Structure 1
Amino acid sequence: MFRYFLYVFMLLTSHALFAQDNLQQDLRLAQQYTRQGEYEKAASIYERLYEQNPKSSMYYRNYYNALLAVKDFTRAEELVKKQLKQDKNDPTLYIDLGLLLKGQSKFEDADAEFEKALKMAKDNQIQNIASVFSNADEHNYAIKAYLKGREIFKDSRMFSRELAQEYKQTGDTNNAISCYLDYAAIQPDHIQIIYNELQRFTNEEEDIEELQRQLYSRIQNETSELIYTEILIWAFYQQKDFEQAFIQVKALDKRLNEDGKRLMELAKKALTEKQYDIAIGAYEYVIAKGENNPLYVNAREELLNCRNEKITATPNYTQEDLRGLEADYIDFLRLFGKNANTISSIRDLAALYAYYLNITDNAITLLEDALRMSSVSAYNRALTKLDLGDYYLMKGEIWDATLLYSQVDKDFTDDMLGEEARYKNARLSYFNGDFEWAQAQLNVLKASTSELIANDALKLSVFITDNMGLDTSAVPMQMFARADLLIVQKKYAAAITTYDSLNRMFPAHTLDDDILYSRANISIEQRQYTQAAQYLETLLKSYGKDILADDALFTLAQLNEKHFDNKDKALECYQNLLIQYPGSLYVVESRKRYRQLRGERVN
């Protein structure tokens, strides 16, 4: 008897498993037909599956969608009504019926079914029917569903994010913004999500104005909600309106009695956009909090850096400006000492001496003293050595320079600092006329993880290859490399004399365009901008298809924008670069500058 029951059980089980396997196989086939757009075939399978399992909402939904796809409204309506007999209290079925009617252009009847679904919806059905409406692109009805949910739950901010997205779909910007701000008030921890959503409203002037209007209104009427001020500050950052951002950040810092951290962030952003006065004002605000403030020293140091950049980035800085900056650095180092914490300021002062005040000995002494400080980290020590090597090179002490570069290379072999040191040594070999050795080092550095080093290495490598490959004599290149070293050493008159000799001794040489470009750069260093522009114009006219053409055009654009204040000419240069040299490394920056000069907002 036991064996008999066991046999029957195994028979029934195997039959059930076989049936289940067939069901899964049919379902996969129907899904495949749906993906391929063969809805008739899919509908045929789903019909069979639904008839076998009439209580399965999945089979019903897939069958309904397949019929809708082939516009078989008659069968679809029969299906919905059949389903309604099973569950007349399911509001989504009335939505299905409404969609069928709408597909047949029976709009009033469709609206009646949609309204019926809304009317009968219970609290636990709101989210679902709103999603069904939304997925069917019935966004206005999705909005009605969520608003009804607010009434049911007596919560005027419920479903804020969902409503914002539905309003956005209907083009109702004002209500979309309002709902996102509601969402910010109830979920301040989701601020990054909110910023991502609001980003879409920062491209059009009228949208950003509406966002600001609503924020100001809420700040005034809901004084306890600080999140609105934070969003307003963010909105000003998107516009790069640092002046207004400064006002709001100061107010928030004062209200919360903070240490100035927000002001430091503002200053950093403003400095990135070269809004020097705003950055300086922010740092000074933090400094005014007093010496006991934890950000006091940092603010003092950053203020120095900001003033440094403001002066050196200005084409018409004076010797008085430079001496004033030097005095500020000396005062800072006297107050806070020369130590590991102030090493960045020590290096900055050294750079001021070497590159602007032309007192290379002071720069060298400053950094030699810094290297004797045992507390300086290995990384900062390496940075200091690289700087000091550059200043030795400027003074003509080649051996000392290469020794320092080699030390950094050895200590940071697998780091970008090591790669930078190797590039500097390769460039030294180039200056010395050892082009083969320089080329070997540069070929390795072209694969550098640093884009800047890789680009510089590639540029110098290509330059050596182009000008040595077909030349039977190395003399022109040796003369040019010697002139390059003279430029690094700021011996501009000697460099120009070398170029004159090169042009005279080797007329119509392949280096002629390089000489013109170097002459232009010397003129820029000497602030002879009109002369520089003439050299660049000559280069573009005579060598417009050569490798330096895009460099010359970009430099000319910069001269017109920053020094000649000739916006139209700058626009023309940037546009020509984008059109004539689409593969140039300057394309991204040229496009950005072009758009900004045209008054477009660039994020």
Structure 2
Amino acid sequence: MKNLFLIIFLIISNFSFGQELQMEDDQNTFFLAETYYRQGEYEKATQIYKKLYDKSSFNTTYLTRLISCYQETDKFSIAENLLKERIEKNPTQTFLYVYLGYNFEKQQRNELAKTNYEKAINSLNENASYAGIIGRLFKNYNLLNYAILAYEKAMETNENADYNFQIAQIYGEQGEYKQMFESYINLVDKNESYLNLVQRFASKYITDDPESDTNILFRKTLLRKAASNPKNEWNILLSWLFAQQKDYGKALIQEKALYQRNSGDLEEIYDLGKIAFQNKDYQAAKDCFTFIDEKSALKEEKIDANLYLAKIAIATKNPETEILFQNLFTEFGKSQQTIELQVEYADFLTFTKNEPLQASSVLEEALTFAQSKFDEGRIKLKLGEVLVFRGLFNKALIYFSQIQTQLKGSEIAQQARFKVAQTSYFKGDFEWAKAQLKVLKGSTTQLIANDAVDLFLRITDNEPVDSIPSGLKQLAKAELFAYQNKNEDALEELSTLFSSKEILPNGLVPGEVIYDDVLFLQAKLYIKQEKYDEAILCYAKIVAADNQGFLTDDVYYAMAELYHYNLNDFEKAKEYYQKIIFEHPSSIYLVDARKKYRKLRGDTI
């Protein structure tokens, strides 16, 4: 009996092994055929595909390739006979009519092609399960209208079938955006779980310009749907659309409507407020966080919202900011829960009120509440910044190094590394600064990576060559003064760069890149001092010297913003926004410039 089992086991093992060898051999053969096919050697490919198809006639990949080879070598009759033979043997496989129809179309026998395409589509009345493969074949042959008909026929026949996603993609390829958006929205209407998928695919056509045709179509389609069949999903999509367009106030209206229906979840409004804050729409951000503060019953949510309200007060130079902080500490106290609020207060004391010693005391106290390495890291990072402000570089570097050691790989550690580079730059240690910045250029945090690249280029573009002073040390020293709010000292340091060199009529020194950076910093300092005419003169000098126009759109946008928001000279602002629109159509400022230009002109946005 044991011998019998052994024999059976060996037979099965040999059979399985033989099957594996055969499959491997077929795969290698198919790979060779594919190589010939892609190289256009259709005769050689035909012979191999024919052998593979004869062994596995159920394999549609072999069939498709074989038919294609016959068509590429003008053997349409052989392809036709093969397909008819297959249909006769398997009349239920109605997708074969698509192959047959396309074979006739290749011969320009269009009526026969049409007849077979219609047979494939009409067959869905009896068997809607083939809609997927029939629609896909039509799409592969670029017969997009037939593909849509097939999918629509299947949905008519089977109410559980849903091919709106495939239909939407086809409309997108055809440029029929109205129908595309309707199909996407119908998909969500049938199944709410497709909401994120629709957002992802619709985002390919949505821009940050509310006046773009696709944005308008998407908005109108959603509004029509919302009017006829109200659902939370339409508010979610409208909020998402308005956020893409940076219309955060309108997005908040949608989020409030959702909150009224689903009271209790404020997370989306919080996220919207953060995005609005990052994009400097402080009024919309304030509205978001005020709403959270009013509606939330959770202390943690109220603290988070008020932290951003404090940030907004600082950014908008609210004279009541100090009182706001004191009221918040009275309401929420000083504890582990309010560490971020304490850190923000220290930042305000240092960089707004010029009170770094008091800020250090606030942070030393905050360290006593820290319950994790991350809490400690956030506090030490700010302590280091305050110490740099005070000119205590070595002590600051110790804090930054501690963070890098204790929180390796974290975002806070990367921020600390950038602070090491920045502090080294301020000290004039450019080689060490570059070494840190090289590592940070590949940072996973885009903002840190961008800052690192910006500083790295500023150093490498302006380094001394052959021991000839380039002015980089003076620029770094001026930037340190600016960091410390010593604006007059910074301007005086920058003035030495001009007075010590030969100066051209436009106020620039010939042949040295550094003066673009000098003039940009000068303009920034003049704006802080509200000396707007002097700032505009700096920008004008950059344009005059920038022969290849690398910086022109940056300067025009800065000038337009100055005229718009600081000088209230709307005609001048329009002039410079218009320069970007017509002279720099590939500028990153184009959409924003166009929107602001239209608003100043009085258009209804």
TM over 0.5: yes
Residue in 2 aligned with 1:126? 131
1:448-597 matches, cutoff 5 A: 448-449=439-440, 450-451=448-449, 454-455=452-453, 458=456, 461-462=459-460, 465-466=463-464, 469-471=467-469, 485-497=480-492, 513=515, 518-538=521-541, 541=544, 544=546, 556-565=555-564, 566-569=573-576, 572=579, 591-597=587-593
Q: 1:162 aligns with which of 162, 166, 174?
A: 166
Distance in 1 (alpha carbons) for counterparts of 2:122 and 2:101:
14
- Contact 2:577/2:594, CA 8 A, preserved across alignment: no
2:563 partner SS = coil
1:78 partner SS = helix
Distance in 1 (alpha carbons) for counterparts of 2:212 and 2:85:
53
Residue in 1 aligned with 2:438? 447
Residue in 2 aligned with 1:152? 157
Residues 1:188 and 2:187 are matched in the alignment: no
- Post-superposition offset of 1:503: 5.7
Distance in 2 (alpha carbons) for counterparts of 1:426 and 1:19:
66
CA radius of gyration, larger in: 1
Residue in 1 aligned with 2:340? 344
Residue in 1 aligned with 2:224? 217
Residue in 1 aligned with 2:603? none
Residue in 1 aligned with 2:294? 288
Q: 1:199 aligns with which of 200, 203, 206?
A: 203
Distance in 1 (alpha carbons) for counterparts of 2:520 and 2:169:
55
- Contact 1:556/1:573, CA 8 A, preserved across alignment: no
Residues 1:79 and 2:82 are matched in the alignment: yes
Distance in 1 (alpha carbons) for counterparts of 2:302 and 2:52:
74
Residues 1:240 and 2:246 are matched in the alignment: yes
1:231 partner SS = helix
- Contact 2:526/2:532, CA 8 A, preserved across alignment: yes
- Contact 1:446/1:453, CA 8 A, preserved across alignment: no
Equivalent residue letter for 2:76: F
Q: 2:142 aligns with which of 130, 137, 146?
A: 137
- Post-superposition offset of 1:132: 2.5
Equivalent residue letter for 1:210: L
Deviations 1:549-584 (A, max 9, x none): 967x577435312211224335647998x89xxxxx
Distance 1:293 1:133, change over 3 A: same
Residue in 1 aligned with 2:280? 274
- Contact 1:409/1:417, CA 8 A, preserved across alignment: no
Distance in 1 (alpha carbons) for counterparts of 2:118 and 2:165:
23
Residues 1:70 and 2:70 are matched in the alignment: no
- Post-superposition offset of 1:249: 0.9
- Contact 1:271/1:279, CA 8 A, preserved across alignment: yes
Count of equivalent residues: 548
1:41-60 matches, cutoff 5 A: 41-47=44-50, 59-60=62-63
Residues 1:175 and 2:179 are matched in the alignment: yes
Residue in 2 aligned with 1:250? 256
Distance 1:263 1:110, change over 3 A: same
Distance 1:142 1:350, change over 3 A: same
Equivalent residue letter for 1:118: I
1:298-309 matches, cutoff 5 A: 298-309=304-315
Unmatched 5+ residue regions in structure 1?
A: 1-8, 313-320, 431-437, 580-589
Distance 1:216 1:463, change over 3 A: closer
Distance in 1 (alpha carbons) for counterparts of 2:84 and 2:201:
40
Equivalent residue letter for 1:345: L
Residue in 2 aligned with 1:375? 370
Distance in 1 (alpha carbons) for counterparts of 2:63 and 2:474:
84
Equivalent residue letter for 2:215: I
Deviations 1:401-448 (A, max 9, x none): 532432332453453254245335424533xxxxxxx23422422323
- Contact 1:529/1:559, CA 8 A, preserved across alignment: no
- Contact 1:386/1:408, CA 8 A, preserved across alignment: yes
- Contact 1:503/1:512, CA 8 A, preserved across alignment: no
Residue in 2 aligned with 1:403? 395
Distance in 2 (alpha carbons) for counterparts of 1:411 and 1:486:
25
Equivalent residue letter for 1:107: N
Distance in 2 (alpha carbons) for counterparts of 1:574 and 1:100:
51
Distance in 2 (alpha carbons) for counterparts of 1:63 and 1:39:
9
Task: Tell me the C-alpha RMSD between the 2 structures.
Answer: 4.0
Distance in 2 (alpha carbons) for counterparts of 1:282 and 1:177:
29
Distance in 2 (alpha carbons) for counterparts of 1:518 and 1:129:
64
Equivalent residue letter for 1:348: E
Distance in 2 (alpha carbons) for counterparts of 1:420 and 1:25:
53
- Post-superposition offset of 1:334: 1.7
Distance in 2 (alpha carbons) for counterparts of 1:536 and 1:167:
47
Deviations 1:354-390 (A, max 9, x none): 333344454344334434x243644444444444454
Distance 1:252 1:27, change over 3 A: closer
Deviations 1:183-239 (A, max 9, x none): 22343233221112222442584433333333233333334x422322222222222
Equivalent residue letter for 1:564: Y
Distance in 2 (alpha carbons) for counterparts of 1:22 and 1:482:
71
- Post-superposition offset of 1:75: 2.6
Task: Give percent identity, aligned residues only.
Answer: 20
Deviations 1:246-270 (A, max 9, x none): 2211111011112422221221222
Unmatched 5+ residue regions in structure 2?
A: 1-10, 441-447, 504-508, 565-572, 598-605
Distance 1:336 1:171, change over 3 A: same
2:588 partner SS = helix
Distance in 1 (alpha carbons) for counterparts of 2:347 and 2:534:
27
- Post-superposition offset of 1:545: 7.2
Distance in 1 (alpha carbons) for counterparts of 2:131 and 2:420:
66
Distance in 1 (alpha carbons) for counterparts of 2:554 and 2:45:
64
